[in-house]
Structure 1
Amino acid sequence: MVGLGVSVSLKVGHVCSCSNGFGTVTMEAQKQKLSPSKTRRKSSYGTSRRSVLKKSFSQEQVTFTSPLSADPLVALIGGGISGLICALFLEKRGIRSTVFDTGIHGLGGRLGTRVVDPHPLKFDHAAQFFTVSDSRFAEIVDAWMEKGLVREWLGTVGDLNNGGEFVPFLPSPARYVATKGMRFLADSLLSHSRLVNVVRPCWISKLEPFNGMWHLSENGKPRGEFDAIVIAHNGKCANRLLMTSGLPLIAKQMKRLDLSSIWALLAAFEDPLPFPGSTEVPFEGAFVRGVDSVSWMANNTKKLEISECGGPHCWTFLSTAAYGKQNKVPQENIPSATAAKVKAGMLDGVESALGLSKGSLPKPLYTRLQLWGAALPTNTPGVPCIFDPFGRAGICGDWLLGSNIEAAVLSGIALANHIADYFQSPGTDPGEFAVGLNNEFQPLEGHDIGQFPGLGSEEKMSEGQAYELAK
């Protein structure tokens, strides 16, 4: 990580005369004091936007002082739902952006869907469904429904206690799924955008400030120059990217994030799964209780309405976070012995949860195991976005507010509007736009597979929180 040293007397429209090899970017020592500008601008973020940049590192902070481009361009690193929404709302404010994503098969991040031909088999293997509690998110979901991108999931969902006791959620808030699978929702979001460019698969490996712009590269290959950057992914890769970027406060907050590890086992069965006293299980989705290896199971065939005329039954089984931690290995190179152990342990857990006798769970005709090494956040700073106005860099993601699709969307909206306000306020003290750089983290409660406002015992996300996410 690189350290901090800034001077808030520099305005966005002022060009620094220092000659230091960075052109109009200054790198100043950490020991300098911040002197708040006398120019004050009323903030829709209340006091959080006026938070000062505390110097907590002995390294250097990049400080851009040159004017923004006449037609500024933003780089978004990460094409998950938060990054995509941020790009769309930047477009609403007339700002161009480029989304860089590592996805080979499509965008989406944890909006993951795997399709296996020739059957075809289809599995949502990360985010399973979402609920809605915020009116802004509700408007977006209504628009998705009108376009046929999502629909309400009417199948039975509830708690499955070890031994086969199933308790449905009654009453239950509306639950939503993507009609063709979660990844296809992500791929559809930018289908009509005019100001958003997508580059994938691409793994941005370096961020360099030079001549008033951010220069991005992928293993030495230039990937463009940008007025501002957005980090819309997290985990080890994001930490490595930020370690030498000149953004110590952004890096510090990202590094404080703690993420769980979750195993996903995709399994297709020739026949419906058995259930004591019934011909098949009485649910489409269940939160599993009292089983070490499994926290969730869902019938994708029914949830996604894949087939009405028979065929394999496609199930997604997700492990507990504790089981993921116990069996964590590098997700890029999973040892075969670990894969065999985890697969057997999770299938045993499914058998136990369903209350079946030992060895009576049908053998699946297809299985695939995946480790989400950076699955879900376990702590949060509780702010909609993070933004360093001196380095012209921000962070969005579900972890800033929670661990669900709604939180990711609201975070993307918040950062897009914040960046647009910053771009469109030349001459204003940049320090007025600092947000989330020093917020303390708090533990994040929820299911092992995320939060679902209104479902179970979880608290609903309040719309009356002390910030405003949208204009």
Structure 2
Amino acid sequence: MITTLTLRSIIPTISPKPTISKMNPVQCNDNNEKNVVSPRKWKGKGKPSYGTSRRSVIKKSFSQEQVQFSSPISTTDPVVGIIGGGMSGLLCALYLEKRGIKSTVFDTGIHGLGGRMGTRIIDPQPLIFDHAAQFFTVTDPKFGEMVDEWSKKGLVRQWHGAVGEIEAGGPFVPFPSSPPRYIAVNGMRPLADSILSETSLVNVVRQSWVSKLAPYNGQWYLSEKGKPCGNFDAIVIAHNGKCANRLLASSGLPLIARQMKRLDLSSIWALLAAFEDPLPVSTIEFEGAFVKGVDSLSWMANNTKKLFGSGSSGPHCWTFFSTAAFGKQNKVPQESIPSTTAEKVKEAMLEGVEIALGLQKGSLQRPFYSRVQLWGAALPTNSPGIPCIFDPHGRTGICGDWLLGSNLESAALSGMALANHIADYFQSGGTSPDEFAVGLDNKFEPLNGHDIGQFPGLESQGQINKAHDLQLTT
């Protein structure tokens, strides 16, 4: 994993010659885009090997004209527009501020910022569920410094509860205590609020669905269904999935769009369920378990025990995640889940819990509260393995966990890296843009990990034994 947050030194090994320089730009005659250079239509070599479900969007993306800004960058008071208020987008805003650069974060969250740092609180009990990111590990020193600060503020702590793997109907096997596992003390979402509290130059617009990017007089103008959202010297795309693809399809950024289209994302169902009594787990009372051998279930965690300790009383709030295969088989529009599908998914996942715990079918106590949610663009299955992507001619970058992996640490490092890269670009005045092209040609490689993400350093006892046996044989 790349630990440095300044990318200029690694650019030669990442993108030897940006494709953008081959586009034969011609001066645009449109008076509304006086400071924009627009080349002829770009034609990629060969047929793109992407999913057929997005073929029309991809075709539109590849036939668009590449925007090339020629006007000087304002070095006195530049402003960046950041689309997405998850970990990567918020840390990009924070680290831009550390370099003296203002930003506006546009986020679609109904309940708050944070993206997959989602915590659902159900009153009046209250019932508390982490319904996206469950925990994280730390391997990078920069991210470690941030986690140490969160720890000092009482925002995070080590998760000492039993976490491991459980086979269908089999025993629970705990993970070793090292590396440390971290959780947010009051649920994941407060971490987003904490990041924002450290800023004074960051404006947040929520609930906002930016629907169009348009170049005008040397800047990007953002709008939401025709309503102006402001003008910016550079743009950061800090989210992915269908919304990002549609936004980029006609934005004048075919190089950025091409890389985003290469991303494959899984679909995961989350079931939040509250039970009056403890579940009959194995001899070890685990708090979190990766489930093996169950079609409908990949993870189960007792939020009550995780957040409040083994001595907590009251309802037991569990988060269950499906496998990616189950998510794909039962995928529907996540904005409007049919009630019949929601009920079918809930029953299948509760049956999966019975199978995992070795219980007789129909013997599991019924939850007094339950809710299913589909993460339609849950986690990446492939990655370019680079902290960020940046098109200096279009003055647009991408950050997100998928660029390095699928965890909070990767999201944090990506946001930090892009912020410092944009700041360096602004400081240069944009006079040598090709030097700042990053990740526009990187190939994607398959990404391995659990269905709910990657946890660097975390290995099961089976993996440890396998590695040990391999060392003995070699």
| Shorter-chain TM-score range | 0.7 to 0.9
Contact 1:95 1:420 in 2 (8 A): yes
C-alpha deviations, 1:127-186, integer Å up to 9, x for none? 000000111111111011111111111111010111041001124310001111111111
Supply the distance in 2 between the matched residues of 1:119 and 1:260 (Cα, whole angstroms).
33
Supply the distance in 1 between the matched residues of 2:429 and 2:377 (Cα, whole angstroms).
38
Shift of 1:6: 5.3
Shift of 1:215: 0.4
Contact 1:164 1:275 in 2 (8 A): no
Per the alignment, residue 29 of structure 1 pairs with 40
Supply the distance in 2 between the matched residues of 1:18 and 1:255 (Cα, whole angstroms).
27
What does 1:100-111 align with in structure 2 at a 5 Å threshold?
100-111=106-117
Contact 2:23 2:40 in 1 (8 A): no
C-alpha deviations, 1:210-235, integer Å up to 9, x for none? 11010001111101000000000000
Supply the distance in 2 between the matched residues of 1:79 and 1:453 (Cα, whole angstroms).
24
Contact 1:17 1:24 in 2 (8 A): no
C-alpha deviations, 1:298-328, integer Å up to 9, x for none? 0000111189552100000000001101111
Supply the distance in 1 between the matched residues of 2:28 and 2:88 (Cα, whole angstroms).
37
Supply the distance in 2 between the matched residues of 1:262 and 1:180 (Cα, whole angstroms).
24
Alignment of 1:334 with 2:337, yes or no, is yes
Per the alignment, residue 70 of structure 2 pairs with 65
What does 1:251-266 align with in structure 2 at a 5 Å threshold?
251-266=257-272
Per the alignment, residue 372 of structure 1 pairs with 375
Supply the distance in 2 between the matched residues of 1:58 and 1:19 (Cα, whole angstroms).
19
Could you say what secondary structure the match of 1:198 adopts?
Answer: strand
For the aligned residue pairs, the C-alpha RMSD in angstroms reads: 2.1
Q: Which has more helix, going by share of residues?
A: 2
Supply the distance in 1 between the matched residues of 2:22 and 2:348 (Cα, whole angstroms).
56
Structure 1 residues 409 and 7: alpha-carbon distance in aligned structure 2, compared to 1, 3 A threshold: same
Per the alignment, residue 141 of structure 1 pairs with 147
Aligned match of 1:117 in 123, 139, 155? 123
Contact 1:102 1:200 in 2 (8 A): yes
Alignment of 1:351 with 2:362, yes or no, is no
Per the alignment, residue 212 of structure 1 pairs with 218
C-alpha deviations, 1:26-70, integer Å up to 9, x for none? 1111479xxxxxxxxxxxxxxxxxxxxxxx945310001111123
Shift of 1:9: 11
Supply the distance in 2 between the matched residues of 1:19 and 1:328 (Cα, whole angstroms).
46
Per the alignment, residue 288 of structure 1 pairs with 291
Alignment of 1:422 with 2:425, yes or no, is yes
Supply the distance in 1 between the matched residues of 2:430 and 2:225 (Cα, whole angstroms).
37
Contact 2:278 2:316 in 1 (8 A): yes
Alignment of 1:203 with 2:209, yes or no, is yes
Contact 2:108 2:207 in 1 (8 A): yes
Could you say what secondary structure the match of 2:95 adopts?
Answer: helix
Contact 1:9 1:429 in 2 (8 A): no
Per the alignment, residue 96 of structure 2 pairs with 90
Alignment of 1:245 with 2:251, yes or no, is yes
Aligned match of 1:158 in 164, 167, 172? 164
Supply the distance in 2 between the matched residues of 1:67 and 1:96 (Cα, whole angstroms).
18
Per the alignment, residue 175 of structure 1 pairs with 181
Per the alignment, residue 304 of structure 1 pairs with 307
Structure 1 residues 102 and 58: alpha-carbon distance in aligned structure 2, compared to 1, 3 A threshold: closer
Could you say what secondary structure the match of 1:317 adopts?
Answer: strand
Structure 1 residues 99 and 363: alpha-carbon distance in aligned structure 2, compared to 1, 3 A threshold: same
Aligned match of 1:225 in 231, 250, 253? 231
Amino acid at match of 1:404: N
Per the alignment, residue 452 of structure 2 pairs with 449
Per the alignment, residue 30 of structure 2 pairs with 20
Contact 1:5 1:28 in 2 (8 A): no
Identity %: 71
C-alpha deviations, 1:334-372, integer Å up to 9, x for none? 112211111111000001101112221111110000000
Amino acid at match of 2:390: F
Shift of 1:286: 0.4
The list of structure 1 runs, each at least 4 consecutive aligned residues, that deviate by more than 4 angstroms after superposition, is 4-10, 306-309
Structure 2: state its 5+ residue gaps: 1-18, 44-60, 465-474
Supply the distance in 2 between the matched residues of 1:301 and 1:427 (Cα, whole angstroms).
51
Shift of 1:274: 1.1
Aligned match of 1:391 in 394, 409, 421? 394
Q: Point out the more displaced range, 126-135 or 146-155.
A: 146-155
Supply the distance in 1 between the matched residues of 2:353 and 2:364 (Cα, whole angstroms).
8
Supply the distance in 2 between the matched residues of 1:126 and 1:427 (Cα, whole angstroms).
39
Amino acid at match of 1:28: P
Per the alignment, residue 467 of structure 1 pairs with none
C-alpha deviations, 1:414-441, integer Å up to 9, x for none? 1001000100012631011001011111
Per the alignment, residue 274 of structure 2 pairs with 268
Could you say what secondary structure the match of 1:190 adopts?
Answer: helix
Give aligned pairs, total: 425
What TM-score, normalized by structure 2, do the two folds share? 0.86
